[in-house]
Chains A and B, each alone.
Chain A
Amino acid sequence: MRQPCEMPKDVGEREPLRRAARWRAAEWGFWSLPVIAYFVFPDNLVLLSQIAITGLFCLSLDLILGYAGIVSLGHVAFFGVGAYAAGLLASHGHGEPFTGLAVAAVSAAALGYITSFLVLRGADLTRLMVTLGVAMMLYELANKLTDITGGVDGLSGIDVHPVLGYFAFDLYGKTAYWYCLAVLFVLFVLARRLVHSPFGLSLHGIRLNVGRMPALGTPVNRRLSAIYTIGALYAGVAGALLAQTTQFVAVDSLGFSRSAELLLMLVLGGSGTLYGALVGTSVFMVARYLLSNLNAQYWQFWLGLLLVLIVLFARDGIMGGLRRLMRLLRRNE
């Protein structure tokens, strides 16, 4: 005989989470695209690698913006720190790629952790300005310390050893492509698990109603600090990937325009969905690539117009649009 309050075995508190965390067919389809792209566009692998890197960077912004609601215009600071860390390491003889990634991740995460306390104070505008201020100070610093960073002329002489000791970085960018894609995929899977965990749910709650969460026993500041650090870590790895595959670090890795463009890409794709970051980045970078070949000077105008239209009419970006489309199709069945 069953005990009165016994729960059936396959239902638990974690069940909804587990269901959401299961991989859907569409996701498998999405991840097959980069693999197919390798064969369809063999001459554009450098562009595709850079899309993967920027996608990872955008993903890191989604973690703090889309999931935790922290508006940052200075996220580029972590990207730059990661890039310089990996670049400096490699230019001084330690060219093993994964070591470079690890060092970059730790440096960026450390900076993220320290600055997270600044970010917790104040509301939107204050946060915006503080993040911006920190990024600008780092930019000036990088500019000034020409002996270390190469300043405006950039850090060159970065010699990266072959991946796993065997796959050297080649002119066609084949090694670079698989390297970046692999790192992106691994970090994406981790992020996905994080987001579909109780930790991720608490972030969702914080974003929606920060006042209520302490009542549920959530240490709000600690959670925000944690996700900010993780976001910084991801951004640092993206920066390191760029340094390693380009064998060059430019001071613009700390520039404001990178931060602004990143925000655009995330909004275009739809924040808070992880995939939105990747979709938005791909669409933005491909569009810019094609348009800049058409008319270098004025693609900025179309970009601005697109942004205005998105905000007015399609606020949740491409992912939101897709979701609405799916709902429509399902209703018609």
Chain B
Amino acid sequence: MKLILRMNTALCAFLGVLLALPVAAAEPVKIGLVLPMSGPFAGYGKQIEEGVRLYLKQHGDAYAGRKVVLIVKDDTGVAPEVSKRDAQELVVQDKVDILAGFGLTPSAFAVAPIATEAKKPMVVMNAATSSVTTKSDYILRTSMTLPQVTAPIASWAAKNGIHKVVTVVADYGPGHDAEEQFKKTFVAAGGQIVAEIRTPVKNPDFAPYLQKVKDTKPDAVFLFLPAGEQPVAFMKGFAERDLAKSGIKLIATGDLTAETALDAIGAPALGVITSFHYAEAHNSPENKTFVDAWYKAYGPDRPDFMAVAGYDGMHLIAETLKKTGGSTDGDRFVEAAKGMKWVSPRGPISIDPATRDIVQTIYIRRVEKVGEKLQNVEFDQVPDFKDPGKP
């Protein structure tokens, strides 16, 4: 009798201890993606989200024992108060661990204070203004900055027989930044800016500007226009007026000839020289794997730099999670992410520990026909280039 009682007690005690042990069910890591999924920039959101999901598809969705869960919120891209609201709800209602995405700079600017107040890591996957990373100590960027992709084409031009340049930029923030950076680098390298033209942001007809270019007869035109119909219109007009035939080169930052826009421009894009951090035609094993997987999952849409930024952003999060052992504590996470280096489909990249911004190779490419498609073919590069736009 006493034995049975003792055994029962022991059993109960044992079960009690077992039940009292905290069940080590690892909580999922919730990532809140704030992206423009509707409106004029819906294409950005689509590319970035697809890039993120492709990474998870290829490498699994559990890191350091925790499953990754994505929550996507549409911020329309044109209303930063919606971005802010989305981020606030993601933090307060959905209790996300990490904020990511941000297709445009104003969205990132508006959300930065929330990242700081809630101490959540914020991974910027597209917004390209230099000062974005200075708005909060929790911001990490995996895309690029505008000055970072502008300076190399300016130095390349100066070294390759282009002495006189006319800059044509859209009259808004990013356009001013591109013009400033190009001028700085080009003039420092001995070049001369013969004219600075600013076009209205909503501009259907480039006739007057093309005429001005023709009048000034430079060696090259440096172009910066918002994505969409304007680059198409300009380049078609450039070709129509035989400006290319008269020897004037067209140089720009690579977003002008992004893969998603190239097909709409067509033949007039051939021969345009740009500097950028990613090309679908980049020749590396990592890129080949990425592009093949992309077409299998999302073809016939082409991948462009935003897809890669999403892909690499997810990589950064995954690897940092592994490094912190699954902890998403804001300060620990950002510390661990600093200095992270890896080979992305675009080439070797790293996160600058001092600025938390991306350091990457910028390639000089020319648009050529490769097989059936137009591609940006790389022929020169500037390795490990940091953002020159930081104050």
Contacts and interface: CB of A to CB of B under 8 A. Distances in A.
A297 interface: yes
Interface string A16-60: 000000000000000000000000000110110010000000000
Interface of A: 43-44, 46-47, 50, 140, 143-144, 146, 150-154, 156, 171-173, 242, 246-248, 250, 252, 255, 257, 292-293, 296-297, 299-300
B38 A297 contact: yes
Given A43-B92, A173-B88, A255 B78 contact: yes
B38 A154 contact: no
B79 interface: yes
B85 interface: yes
Interface string B46-75: 000000000000000000000000000110
B73 A293 contact: yes
Contacts of A252: 78-80
Given A140-B200, A252-B79, A297-B37, 11 more contacts: A143-B172, A144-B172, A152-B105, A152-B201, A153-B106, A153-B174, A154-B105, A156-B109, A246-B84, A250-B110, A296-B38
B129 interface: yes
A146 B80 contact: no
Contacts of B202: 140
Interface stretch (B113-121, B186-194, B290-298, B356-364): B113-121
Nearest to B109: A156
A47 B109 CA distance: 19
B113 A247 contact: yes
B176 A154 contact: no
Contacts of B109: 153-154, 156, 248
Contacts of A153: 105-106, 109, 129, 173-174
Contacts of B37: 296-297
Q: Is the interface of B mostly helix, strand, loop or mixed?
A: helix
Contacts of A46: 84-85, 88-89
A257 B78 contact: yes
A151 B91 CA distance: 28
Contacts of A248: 80-81, 84, 106, 109-110
B171 A144 contact: yes
Nearest to B132: A153
Given A246-B81, A250-B81, A292-B74, A151 B89 contact: no
A248 B112 CA distance: 11
Contacts of A172: 92
A253 to B, nearest CB: 9
B214 interface: no
Contacts of A296: 37-38, 42, 45, 74
Contacts of B92: 43, 171-172
B75 to A, nearest CB: 9
Interface in B27-53: 37-38, 42, 45
